[in-house]
A = this chain, B = another copy of it.
Amino acid sequence: MSETISEDELLHQVELLNEDPLIHGILIQLPLPKHINEQRVLKHVKLEKDVDGFHPENVGNLTLKRLDNLLVSCTPQGCIELLDAYNIEISGKNVVVLGRSNIVGIPMSLLLLHRNATVTICHSKTQDLKSHTKNAHIIICACGQAKMLTKEYINENVVIIDVGINSIEDKTRKSGYRLVGDADYEDLKDNVKAITPVPGGVGPMTIAMLLKNTLIACINTT
């Protein structure tokens, strides 16, 4: 659709997809143009087709005891899958989540609580960040600050999952920039138990979970 689409017309398009029985999943590609109310559009997606898991009711559902057949937001779900795939224990561990966004930090924290982690949510207003990160068994970086997490913040047994995707200047590249995470991978990689790279770490997991959610949405509605 055109970038100049009106909010009403966009809502109408979402409505058509909501009603179309051949469509099982709807994803609103963010960010939307500034003249459109993002939350209003996200809330307009039919709950059962919200494969991104961004609808506030789907976020709120993460506070319930059972998550069966829920559409869980993709990036946090992908982080849990990564930890499980590498047999990294979550239950009873101290997990520090850097960032408190409604699309990563908060749903991530809720999923970790489901897995019995003790969760600390840090952010730009946290004082003495080190006192939290130094005691973490797992750190989830989702604050959008390029390479902010360095080895002085961590203990060497930590596992780092880096959700950040930041573009920084790089004159050696044709494009003039490259993508880095919130963790300083080069500085950390030999000083931690495990760390995900950016790009290539969490990103592909997010896409896989989006497909999984679409399948769940299809099963739930047919």
Q: Which of B55, B116, B123 contacts A118 (CB 8 A)?
A: B123
Q: Is the CB of B123 within 8 A of A120?
A: no
Chain B residues with CB under 8 Å of A119's CB are: 120-121
Task: Flag whether A60 is at the interface (Cβ < 8 A).
Answer: yes
Chain B residues with CB under 8 Å of A33's CB are: none
Task: Flag whether A110 is at the interface (Cβ < 8 A).
Answer: yes
Which of the candidate stretches A127-135, A140-148, A169-177 sits at the interface with the other chain?
A127-135
Chain B residues with CB under 8 Å of A107's CB are: 63
Task: Flag whether A206 is at the interface (Cβ < 8 A).
Answer: no
- Cα distance A113–B131 in the bound complex, in angstroms: 18
Chain B residues with CB under 8 Å of A65's CB are: 102
- Cα distance A135–B118 in the bound complex, in angstroms: 15
Chain B residues with CB under 8 Å of A94's CB are: 127
Residue total for A at the interface (Cβ-Cβ under 8 A):
35
Q: Is the CB of B118 within 8 A of A118?
A: no
Most B CB within 10 A of own CB, among A59, A63, A109, A122: A63
Q: Is the CB of B110 within 8 A of A116?
A: no
Q: Which of B56, B91, B113, B135 contacts A121 (CB 8 A)?
A: B113
Least CB distance, A196 to chain B, in whole angstroms: 24
For window 43-58 of A, CB contacts with B under 8 Å fall at 55-58
Chain B residues with CB under 8 Å of A121's CB are: 109, 113, 118-120
Q: Is the CB of B132 within 8 A of A127?
A: no
Q: Which of B57, B102, B125 contacts A91 (CB 8 A)?
A: B125
Q: Which of B91, B106, B127, B135 contacts A110 (CB 8 A)?
A: B106
Task: Flag whether A222 is at the interface (Cβ < 8 A).
Answer: no
Q: Is the CB of A102 within 8 A of B64?
A: yes
Chain B residues with CB under 8 Å of A106's CB are: 63, 110, 113
The 10 closest A-B pairs by CB, nearest first: A60-B60, A56-B60, A63-B102, A59-B60, A57-B57, A116-B125, A120-B120, A118-B126, A63-B106, A92-B127
Contacts A56-B61, A106-B110, A116-B123 known; 5 new A-B pairs at CB < 8 A = A56-B64, A59-B60, A63-B102, A92-B127, A119-B121
